[in-house]
Structure 1
Amino acid sequence: MGSRFMSLSFTGSNQRARNVLITVLAVVLVIVGSYFLFRTPRLTNLAQSNAAQLAPLKSAWASGDAIVVIRHAERCDLSSAPCLDAPDGITKRGKDIAVKLGKHYQTLGLDQADIFTSPLTRTRQTANFMFNHDVEPQQWLAACKGIMLKTALETKRPGHNLILVTHSDCIREIEKHLNVHAPEKPPYASSLFIVLGQGDKKPRALGFFYSRDFNTEWMNQK
């Protein structure tokens, strides 16, 4: 009887010890995760930046040293909004946003810009409505894991801005390789702006312009 009681006591003690250990490990993981999260530079909403903060982007765009990575417009298969046509494409609302966004890019100037898109229907539709022509598809803008930033830099021509229409996972790939962190998943039709250093051409992510507040007024700010 005594040995059975001692066995039960040890079993209870072991269970409590395991619970304490699990709790401690969970706390440690939260602390470590928070450390790396806040240690990683956070991308900002460029619409909330002032003229001085946007000066590097203005200069890079003028000299053809910018890369823009755009997420496709609203997906038809994940929305209750009316589809444009194909079920794997974008919604009618997404088309309207893409057209409006494209006008802003035309205002920025596309004479020194190379434009490519993922071959999936939703990205091709977004790109074609934005730029009012059939944009050349590139498979690496869909199958981008581990190669997104490297291939973008290899594709970019000197003196030409590079505009890429792709997917949220591919944008996350670039964030990972540039060691930056966005506070949320890139919304539909959002644009991540990257500039290349004047001397070393090292890429640096400046932040996002979201479609809801994308404008070109900053180009005229002094």
Structure 2
Amino acid sequence: MKKTPNSSPKEKKKKPIKTLIVIAALLLLCFTTYAALKTPRPPHLTRSSTLEIARLKEEWEKGNVIAFVRHAERCDQSTATCLDSTDGITVPGKDVAIEVGDNFRNLGINTTDIFTSPLKRTQQTADYMFNRKIQSQEWLANCQNTILHNATNNKSPKRNLVLITHSDCMKDIERSLNYSTSEKPDYSSALMVSYDDKTESFQIIGIIDPKDWNLSLKN
């Protein structure tokens, strides 16, 4: 009868190490899941109370809102027809941008300043939203850990600010304000943030997806 060979000392040492690695990975997974569940997500205004909708309108009338808008559907990640070159937006994306711009006009943009990231997809989105050439700002493209600071530096008292930017920038804002960033914002969605210039504090009011504007404003 053949004897089963005993494990070598090296193999015996490897087993506890592998076990520790597995335990550490499971603990990390549990912690990440717990943190994601515990951290609140920005509310979608169509699923919010009428109080939050009213707050958006009130803060907008006071000129206290900074709206961070993600660019329209990008051509290089879509099968839809491109508006022109692949670094821009799609034809359907252009149509959505125009609709979102109309909704901002319904809110009122007489006391609103508008800037955009200089990348083609954001520039096209902004220009079609507001039917004119929108001034670009480099900080809306290179935004990591700086976008809120730069937004306040470019916001005038009692004037709203609309900024066409990127999903990573919007997630950076949510992270900075202690919200979950597990969801990638939809194309042309707007993250509405109120800013109190007296206390220099921010509060997320909520997110409006392109298809939800009318529903939000009717509440």
TM-score normalised by structure 1 residue count? 0.90
* Aligned-residue RMSD, C-alpha: 1.8
Residue number in structure 1 paired with 2:155: 156
Deviates more, 1:44-53 or 1:137-146: 44-53
Q: Which is further off, 33-42 or 96-105?
A: 33-42
Kept in 2: contact 1:71–1:167 (CA 8 A): yes
CA shift, 1:57, in A, is 1.4
1:14 partner SS? helix
Q: Secondary structure at the match of 2:77?
A: coil
Question: Which residue is 2:18 aligned to?
Answer: 19
Tell me if 1:102 matches 2:101.
yes
C-alpha distance in structure 2 between counterparts of 1:113 and 1:216, whole Å: 23
Corresponding residue of 1:130: 129
Q: Is residue 180–residue 205 contact of structure 1 (8 Å, CA) maintained in 2? A: no
| Shift in Å, 1:50 | 2.1
Aligned 8 A contact 1:73 1:189 in 2: yes
The structural deviation recorded for 1:145 is 1.5
Instruction: State the SS of the aligned residue for 1:157.
Output: coil
The alpha-carbon deviation at position 183 of structure 1 amounts to 4.0
In 2: Cα distance, 1:140 partner to 1:109 partner: 25
Partner of 2:32: 33
Amino acid at match of 2:161: L
1:55 maps to a residue whose letter is A
Amino acid at match of 2:152: L
Q: Which amino acid aligns with 2:140?
A: L
Q: State the TM-score, normalized to the length of structure 2.
A: 0.91
1:158 CA drift (Å):
0.5
Looking at structure 2, the residues matched to 136 and 49 of structure 1 have their Cα atoms a distance apart, in angstroms, of: 33
Residue 142 of structure 1 corresponds to 141
Tell me the distance in 2 between the aligned counterparts of 1:53 and 1:107. 18
Distance 2:17 2:67 in 1: 50
> 1:187 matched to which residue of 2?
186
Residue type of the partner of 2:163?
L
Q: How far apart are 1:35 and its partner, in Å?
A: 3.0
Superposed CA deviations along residues 118-138 of structure 1, whole A, max 9, x for unmatched, are 011110110010011111111
Tell me, in whole angstroms, the C-alpha distance in 2 between the residues paired with 1:217 and 1:23. Answer: 47
Corresponding letter in the other structure for 1:139:
E
Q: Aligned pairs, how many? A: 215
Q: Which residue of 2 aligns with 1:82?
A: 81
Query: Is 2:45–2:216's contact at 8 Å kept on the other side of the alignment?
Result: no
Percent of aligned pairs sharing the same letter: 40
Cα deviation for residue 199 of structure 1 reads: 5.2
Letter of the 2:62 partner, please give it. Answer: S
